[in-house]
Amino acid sequence: MTFSPDHWQSRLDALRATHRVPGATLAVFTEGKIHELASGLLHRGTGVEATTDSVFQLGSIAKLYTATLVMQLAAAGELDLDAPVIEVLPGFSVADPDATKAITTRQLLSHTSGMTCDFTYDSGRGDDCLATYVTAARNVVLDCPPGAAVSYSSVGYNVLGRIVEVLTGRTWDQALKERLLAPLSLTRTMTLPEEALAFRTAMGHLPGDGGDPEPAPAWDMMPRSAGPYGRVLATAADVLRLAKLHLDGGSAPDGTQILGPRAVAEMQRWAVDVPDKWAVSADGWGLGWSLYDWNGIPGYGHDGASIGQYGFLRVVPGADLVVVLLTNGGAARPLYADLFRELLLDLGGVHMPPAFAPPARPPLVDMAPLVGTYRREGVVITVSVRPDGAPHLLYEFIGGMQDFSPPLSMDLTPLSDTVFAASGVGSSFGGDWMPVVFGTLVDGTPCCYIDMRCAPLAAC
């Protein structure tokens, strides 16, 4: 159907208010045109209004920028995706010597390297921050052996960023500007906080004592080294223009071929299934892209989150449709789900799956095979059964992440023998329920997936 700005502005305003999201911007490409909408406030403390030229933190959507840079190098013959990373980065290593020799760039792109996600390390503001970070991560324990499973990895994307630096002779920030931002005229996309001072910039909001979210204690808590996995700032329309590069086979609006069509197709090709199909709404993963199967209609995209800011990008290639939503707090994921369910159906014929929730009559499940302690870097997950027979999960941050949050105690409601809904996690994550998925690695080791991170069984 034809895009109606007035209708969708009304829907954005209403749904944003319903879900108590302070501010949001929406960009839609359909029928050959880009439409931009904005709603609410950038900062509840100052009352500054959100506008279509407002800049938001993109969180993990930044991974698409890094993946595109890497695929440029591969398409130019400067990088073999299937060669061990140590051939490009001779100093690269991880805690497992065998894994050090085995991890490839392709595995880093598809989150199958086994490298963990949440290694927090501030390596400073210098141009050597990525090199220092990658060196510091060498002793971090892997989530699983390379190729054993998909496990979402921000650390892996920092290694990719370092590969970009070594092969281009530029910092990751500089390479991004010169090889992507400038050719695409993305004038409202940046990587450093001081660059954002020239623009209307969204403040993240976190749950407060009242019903509405409150401004976060700091605007930007990420170090410079977080760039390749999570530190790009942009308007919704600029994010859309990056996605449109891929929709158009790697060609810029002026006809310049920024990324070869074969590389574009390879990024969108199914590389691995995703056991947890609900945390980021993904059915599979390509080389950088989350992949979706909407009842036979294929799509791709990515989600992102920083401190109190959340972004959502979806592409429906068969409908020549791109939709980007950027938000700054509140129940952002339910807003995305409600708004995109309407938008993608109306403009792309896509029926999105219903919100994740347990059935009215949960099945009876034998918990004995699942009980135990699961571990990954910075996190311990303890699955048990209460005296009344109810399944329970305790999620604890340890080590360098111990100050992130108090332990989270959650009751589990089964959807099947391996999929459970955890209650009491807060609406900004995923509504009233968080998916907890149990599976096995290729060697048969049991594992637990939360937020697409794989934690192998450590003890029964």
Active site residues per annotation: 60
40 phi, psi to nearest 5 deg: 85, -155
E strand intervals along 10-59: 23-30, 33-43, 48-49, 56-57
d(CA 132, CA 359): 48
Q: Residue 439's beta-bridge partner residues?
A: 447
| Inter-CA distances, 202 with 193, 196, 326, 329, Å | 12, 10, 10, 10
332-348 and 5-18 helices, crossing angle to 10°: 160
Q: Residue 291's beta-bridge partner residues?
A: 284, 300
d(CA 244, CA 187): 16
In the DSSP assignment, the letter for residue 203 is P
Burial of 437 (0-12, 13-18, 19+ CB in 10 A): buried
**Can you give the C-alpha Rg of the chain in angstroms?**
21
d(CA 138, CA 162): 14
Confirm if 84 and 67 have CB atoms less than 8 A apart: no
d(CA 187, CA 207): 32
Got the DSSP string for 269-328?
A: S--EE-S--SSS--SEE-SS-EEEEETTEEEEEEEEEETTEEEEEEEEGGGTEEEEEEE-
d(CA 153, CA 92): 16
Spatial CB neighbours of 76, under 8 Å, sequence gap ≥ 6: none
As separate numbers, helices (DSSP H) first and strands (DSSP E) second, the chain gives 13, 22
Give which of 376, 362, 460 is closest to 417, Cα–Cα: 362
Confirm if 52 and 366 have CB atoms less than 8 A apart: no
